[in-house]
Chain A
Amino acid sequence: MRGSLLACTLFLLVAALLGWREHRQLSSKKEANAKLLAEAAAIATDGVRTAREVAVSSDRLDQRNEELLKKSEVNALVRDYFGLFRDFDEDPKGEANEEFKRLKADIRRRLEALDPSAIGQFMAECYSNPDLNLRIKRDINLYVRTVFISKYPLEMAMMMSDSPQLFGLNEEAMPEGYVQDPFQHLVYYYSYEKKDLQLVFQCLARVSEAFQSKYIGGVLDYYADSPSKRVELLEVMRIFASTPEQVELVNEQLSNLVFGRGEARPKFVELSDWIGSANLSMDELVAATRAMQEKVRVGETGQWLDWLAKSEMPEEFLKERAFALSAEWAEKDYLAAGKWLNSAPESPGKSAVTSAFAAKVYPYNPEVAMQWLQTLPQGPDRSKALQMIYQGIQQNGSLDRTVAESFARKHGLKE
């Protein structure tokens, strides 16, 4: 019996020891599992909160203390910052003073240590400070551009969009004199200096529509300076355009992307080659060719009209483009436009060209204009030209009102 009890005790002791070890291992694995689950959840939901932060967030008291500490640090920083300018305001040497420089370097070090939420607090504190003046605004603007934007582009983009008044980006006013637009700087810095298109468009994707509309053009200015970069930019813009508003915004930029907006006007040979290689969809092509008459070389209008005819663009748009192109052409080189008309085969595009040519030439040579107009059947092209001619007569101060009335009667136009 004693032997039995001893054996039982021995077994229980060994089992308890083994069980205790296993239980400890299991607990630590459970803990690791909880952390991993939290980390995975953080990545899945936001990607920003790291496992360490989750662990911190579990301890609300600690977090609260940390926040209070951070707030008081930012308050102290703002106090020291404004104090620095106040103390040296009367100094004749001003910002050239060595002590001033040393203290500013210290401020910069402290600013570099701020995280995005602290930056937000810093900006809000600065802009609600009654001592804020243009000198300090310029100085803050410098830190925003050189410290905050280069460290936290996405967070700063959102912050500028959410609180534009804290960055001199009020709706009604341009940034004040000599205070640079920080969002424009962000676009410049990551497009031109860092060549990181993805990041620029990630920033744009997070800001308001007004900001997207205002700043997207900057990417073209700072990035699209070679044919291959224009292709690359087109790809990224296509991905960016995920809402109808963004699609429209990108479409508005396509004309500048395709035809450029620099001083040098591209030639047909370059543009047609590039458009062919860019695989533009029909919607993109229609958007890109809006107001193309302002972008192409007028001497190459004939080539563009031929290109339009082969573009398979819907007739409505094709005619609109052909009309605008040839109105400009007739104005600047009516001889070449007439020559093209004489040799071009009949087509919807040619009807639009005839209409524009007749309307433009009429004030200088009504007979020739009317002869061309007679080649058009009754329809929208003919009516459009007649309306333009009629309006021109009405606006011509040297002509009697009866001339316009007679023209309208003769061609059945509403007076």
Chain B
Amino acid sequence: MKIIHYVPPAVVLVIAAAWLSNLRSSSAALDQENRSLQAKIAESRSTPAFRNAPLRAPTIEANPTRVEKAPQKQPKPSADWVSVSRDWQKLVRFINDEANHRYTAAWKRLEKLASEMSADELVKAYTELAALAVHAPLREDLEWVMLKELETTNPEFAFSQYIAKYQSEGKAPARIGTFNQWLARDPVAATTWYESQLASGVFYTRLGGKSPVLLPFESAFILSLIGSDPAAAEQRMKNIPPELRSGLGGYMWDVPKGNAEAFVDLLRQTMPMEEYMGILRKNSLTEKSFNLSNDKNPQSVAKNLDSLGFSPAERSSLMAHEFREFAEYRSMRDRGNPPSREKFDAHRRWIQAIDPSSADRATGFALQTYLEKARTTGAQDFVERIAVEYHGAGAGDEVLIPLIEGSANGNSPFPRERARMLAMMISDAALREDLLQRLN
């Protein structure tokens, strides 16, 4: 074989080698690029932003200073000591950052500890609490627990703190402990303490001298006197500024049965009727008759009103209060549903069975209340239809008047043109003219 014959295979070999080498280098470069891409993708997937959000939230995640979720709280040290601890402050600090502190063992221990502590220890703990940076809901609960214990062991301190607390918070007290029990248990001490509070001027720090904080105390005195010395009770009532008297209702819920008549008389002598019937509507003397969840026998309700000696005007006022409250409740229940005519009819029948002469006026006020609360055109149709049908079936003008007057004075979302149609139906000519004029 001549040397020239080696040339073609050599050339082929060189070309093939170059081709294969080129393929390999391309493959290696792709390999490297793929590895790099895989690493980058894996990195992206492992970021919290990607884990937390299948879609990115540009406003939050675009922010380079995004703060990661706060590190989990360090596990708390063993709480074995909690169940036996007598260290009030340590227990308080221990649960200060708990969201639901009332469900913790430390809270149970604090409650128990409060019942075990002496009055002096509690007074000291209460005073020290004022300087501790404690979360407001926990502070509120701690104060109640301590003051509840102190009401019996150191009532002077406890009730003074109640006054200070409500004065400082600038609001009327929802409750003020068991001052009535102290007054019954030790009337001299309770009265002496209260007189000293009055003398100190603590109740008269407001401009105009009207503080609602004295109402729960005064109500305890009034209820304690009502049976034994009604004149003294009346005098106490008259010492309270008239505009504050209706606020007594919340503290005078529980009237002893034997004092019912004296209590009603006292209210009659010291307040306007609408005001005191508002108190009597939410009172132990009548509330069971009018509880919305009760299907009370109308005869027994009427008997109760008879026993309380309510006049026709008082019954009418009471029934109007009652039906209005019912209408308010129905407007809430009917929201988004068709208004329930049956419920309205049934309640009217119930009121008619108790006091027939009050039913029309009470119905009129109830319809107006329903409309005011519902504020929908559907409600306008509903109340108008009921009013017209009741009136057509023999009800008095009183069933129409509240809707018409509400429209005339702008208190009720009832269109004037529709109110005019109702006014045309008023049977009393003078009243009809008057209402039509007011609607112009």
Most chain A Cβ neighbours within 10 Å, of B19, B70, B201: B70
> How many residues in B have their beta carbons less than 8 Å from beta carbons of A?
75
- A264 pairs with B168, CB closer than 8 A: no
Measured CB to CB, the closest approach of chain A to B314, in angstroms, equals 32
Q: Which residues on A sit within 8 Å (CB–CB) of B31? A: 29
Write 20 A-B pairs (CB below 8 A) sorted by A numbering.
A7-B12, A11-B12, A15-B16, A22-B20, A40-B37, A43-B45, A43-B50, A134-B337, A154-B54, A174-B335, A175-B336, A177-B334, A205-B57, A235-B70, A243-B59, A297-B170, A300-B168, A330-B207, A332-B167, A361-B207
Q: Is the CB of B137 within 8 A of A298?
A: no
**A264 contacts B137, C-beta separation under 8 Å:** yes
Of all A-B residue pairs in the complex, the 9 with the closest CB atoms, nearest first, are: A299-B168, A176-B336, A15-B16, A177-B336, A298-B170, A7-B9, A266-B136, A202-B57, A264-B140
B52 touches A199 (CB 8 A): yes
Tell whether B34 is near chain A: CB-to-CB under 8 Å.
Answer: yes
Cross-chain contact B9 with A19 (CB below 8 angstroms) = no
- Evaluate contact between A37 and B207: CB separation under 8 angstroms: no
From B81-89, B93-101, B147-155, the one touching the partner chain is: B93-101
Residue in B38, B41, B44, B56 whose Cβ sees the most chain A Cβ within 10 Å: B56
Point out the residue from A7, A154, A274 that lies within 8 Å of B53, measured CB to CB: A154
Assess whether B208 is interfacial by the CB under 8 Å rule: yes
Contacts of A243 in B (CB 8 A): 59
* Residue of A whose beta carbon sits closest to that of B21: A22
Q: How far is the CA of A344 from the CA of B414 in the complex (A)?
A: 56
Say yes or no for B244: interface residue by CB 8 A criterion. no
Q: Which residues of B contact A198 (CB under 8 A)?
A: 52, 60, 69
Residue A178 contacts which of B33, B201, B336 (CB distance < 8 angstroms)?
B336
Residue numbers of A with Cβ under 8 A of B are: 1, 3-5, 7-8, 11-12, 14-15, 18-19, 22-23, 25-26, 29-30, 32-33, 36-37, 39-40, 43, 46-48, 134, 154-155, 174-179, 196-199, 201-202, 205-206, 225-229, 231-232, 235-236, 239-240, 242-243, 246, 260, 262-267, 269-270, 273-274, 297-300, 328, 330-336, 360-361, 363-364
**A334 vs B167: C-alpha distance in the bound complex, in angstroms?**
12
With contact pairs A1-B5, A300-B168 given, residues A260 and B136 touching in the complex (Cβ less than 8 Å): yes
Task: Determine which of A5, A7, A225, A360 lies in contact with B207 in the assembled complex, contact meaning CB atoms within 8 Å.
Answer: A360
Check if B336 sits within 8 Å of A33, measured CB to CB.
no
Separation in Å of the B303 CB from the closest CB of chain A? 37
> Which residues of chain B in 192-231 are interfacial with respect to chain A, using CB atoms and an 8 Å cutoff?
201, 205-208
| CB-defined contacts of A15 to chain B, threshold 8 Å | 12, 15-17, 19-20
CA distance A77 to B217 in the complex (A): 66
Chain B residues contacting A18 (CB-CB under 8 Å) are: 16, 20
Within 8 A of A (CB), among B22-42: 23-24, 26-27, 30-31, 33-34, 37-38, 40-41
- Given the known interface contacts A3-B1, A330-B207, the answer about A235 and B67 at a Cβ–Cβ threshold of 8 Å is yes
Evaluate contact between A26 and B30: CB separation under 8 angstroms: yes
Residue pair B134, A270 in contact (C-beta under 8 Å): yes
- Chain B residues within an 8 Å CB radius of A262: 136-137
B134 and A202 form a contact (CB under 8 A): no
**Closest CB in chain A relative to B304 CB, distance in Å:** 34
Quick check: which of B116-124, B125-133, B270-278 contacts chain A, the rest being far away?
A: B125-133
Whether B333 is near chain A, meaning CB under 8 Å from some CB there, is yes
Measured between beta carbons, the chain A residues less than 8 angstroms from B69 are 197-198, 232
Q: Chain A residue with minimal CB distance to B65?
A: A239
Contact of A239 among B1, B17, B63 (CB under 8 A): B63
Main secondary structure of the interface of A (DSSP, over half): helix
Taking CB atoms, residues of chain B closer than 8 Å to A299 are: 164, 167-170
From the candidates A14, A29, A134, name the one contacting B336 in the complex (CB within 8 A). Answer: A134
Question: Is the pair A4, B8 in contact by a Cβ cutoff of 8 Å?
Answer: yes
A178 to B334, CA, bound (A): 10
Q: Are A12 and B168 in touch, CB under 8 angstroms?
A: no
B430 part of interface (Cβ distance < 8 Å) = no
- A202 with B52: CB separation less than 8 A: yes
Nearest-neighbour CB distance to chain A for B333, whole angstroms, equals 7
**Shortest Cβ gap from B53 to chain A (Å):** 6
A364–B361 CA distance with the chains assembled, in angstroms = 42
Verify if B175 is at the interface (C-beta below 8 Å from A).
no
Residue from B63, B65, B97 within 8 A of A226 (CB atoms): B97
- List the B side residues contacting A273 at CB < 8 Å: 133
Give the chain B neighbours of A229 by CB distance below 8 A: 99
B60 and A242 contacting across the interface, CB-CB below 8 Å:
yes
Q: Taking CB as reference atom, which chain A residue is nearest B70?
A: A232
A334:B205 contact, CB within 8 angstroms: yes
A88–B134 Cα distance when bound, in Å, is 56
Is B429's beta carbon under 8 Å from chain A?
no
Task: Choose among A19, A270, A273 the residue with the greatest number of B CB atoms under 10 Å from its CB.
Answer: A270
- Min Cβ gap B36→A in Å is 9
Determine the residue in chain B with the shortest Cβ distance to A5: B8
